[in-house]
Amino acid sequence: MGDLDPLVKEIQIKGDVQEILNNLENYFLRKEMKITRKTPTSITAASGSSIKTRVLGGKFVSKDTLPIKYVIEKVVRRSGIDFLRIEIQDDLGFGSRFGMKSKLQTHMSECMADVERIINSYDSPKPYPPEENIFSLDRLQPPASSKKSNFQNNFTFNEIQNEISTLKKRERMIDTKKIKKALEKDDIEKANKLLFELKQKYDEYKSTIDDIESLDNRKSRLAVKLADGEIDRQTYNDASKSIRWRKSDLEEELNRLRKEVIYEDYQKPF
């Protein structure tokens, strides 16, 4: 732990512990800290560099370089009330802190204040600006279904082979068995139709993956906004629920498409 006494504080919580810990995790990651342990009821993180602080000297490094350890865990008192216990530790290790104790103590106090702010924002957030609500339910609805393009392929045997090679470069395990069987029977018309359908399904497959990643990115940005106090808890909960619903639908669609475009022995559930 080091030569300085840790700062310890307990804060009563009324909401979802995991949501609060997720907010803290997003904050730590945004600050480029290292998450050393995460459970449903606790999180431990580390910031700064003890080596750099020792080599350059505590007086000369930035406060973000000072090594700090965060230990945050849920505790339940006999009254049944939930608390989060926050412990901010000097993580410099053994050795002298001559000339840097005051700087370390000040930084530890600032770290404690930041963690308190994030935890307390769960219960008393700032109002959310309606014009910035990019996570509303309406924005997360699936797009209206569009009519598929008419079949237009008119490739020769060799051109179909080239198209298959191109698809293989994009997706090594794409399932082209039916097209190859049609080619073996010299049924060029059927091979063209199957190729066209496979291309459409593969494009849908990749687009669905992109949509899921986009939702994950939205959720991460949303958590950062909540941690920074830019949105309130109710807005966060409503938007997160909409994201979960939409993502569930997309994952179901992805699994269906996966079965249609990827070899069966290579399929993995999403």
Which tens digits make up the pLDDT trace of 75-91?
Answer: 877 667 888 999 999 88
Answer yes or no: is pLDDT of 3 > 50: yes
What integer best gives the mean pLDDT of the chain?
A: 79
**Bridging pattern class, strands 7-12 and 34-39:** unpaired
Domain borders along the chain are 7-120, 130-266
Residue 204's pLDDT is what?
87
Residue 127's pLDDT is what?
41
Give the C-alpha separation, 183 to 106, whole Å. Answer: 74
Report the pLDDT averaged over residues 94-120.
84
Residue 134's pLDDT is what?
42
Left (φ > 0), alpha (ψ -120 to 50) or beta: where does 254 sit? alpha
Residue 228's pLDDT is what?
78
Residue 98's pLDDT is what?
66
Closest by alpha carbon to 237, among 30, 20, 64? Answer: 20
Look at 269 and 75; give whichever has higher pLDDT. 75
Fold of 7-120: TATA-Binding Protein (3.30.310)
Closest by alpha carbon to 161, among 192, 127, 136? Answer: 192
62 confidence band (pLDDT: 50, 70, 90): confident
Answer yes or no: is pLDDT of 132 > 70: no
Answer yes or no: is pLDDT of 94 > 90: no
Report the pLDDT averaged over residues 50-73.
84
Answer yes or no: is pLDDT of 63 > 80: yes
What one-letter code names the amino acid at 64? D
SS3 sequence, the chain?
Answer: CCCCCCEEEEEECCCCHHHHHHHHHHHHHHCCCEEEEEECCEEEEEECCHHHHHHHCCCCCCHHHCCEEEEEEEEECCCCCEEEEEEEEECCCCCCCCCCHHHHHHHHHHHHHHHHHHHHCCCCCCCCCHHHCCCCCHHHCCCCCCCCCCCCCCCCHHHHHHHHHHHHHHCCCECCHHHHHHHHCCCHHHHHHHHHHHHHHHHHHHHHHHHHHHHHHHHHHHHHHHHCCCCCHHHHHHHHHHHHHHHHHHHHHHHHHHHHHECHHHCCCC
Give the C-alpha separation, 192 to 188, whole Å. Answer: 6
Answer yes or no: is pLDDT of 36 > 60: yes
pLDDT tens profile 171-227: 888 889 999 999 899 998 898 889 888 888 888 888 888 888 888 888 888 888 888
Answer yes or no: is pLDDT of 266 > 80: no
Answer yes or no: is pLDDT of 59 > 90: no
Report the pLDDT averaged over residues 117-129.
60
Residue 89's pLDDT is what?
92
What one-letter code names the amino acid at 265? D
**By mean pLDDT, which of 16-20, 77-81, 111-115, 242-246 is the weakest?**
77-81
Residue 45's pLDDT is what?
93
Q: Angle 188-227/157-170 helices, nearest 10 degrees? A: 20
**For the chain, what is the radius of gyration of the CA atoms?**
27
Residue 153's pLDDT is what?
65
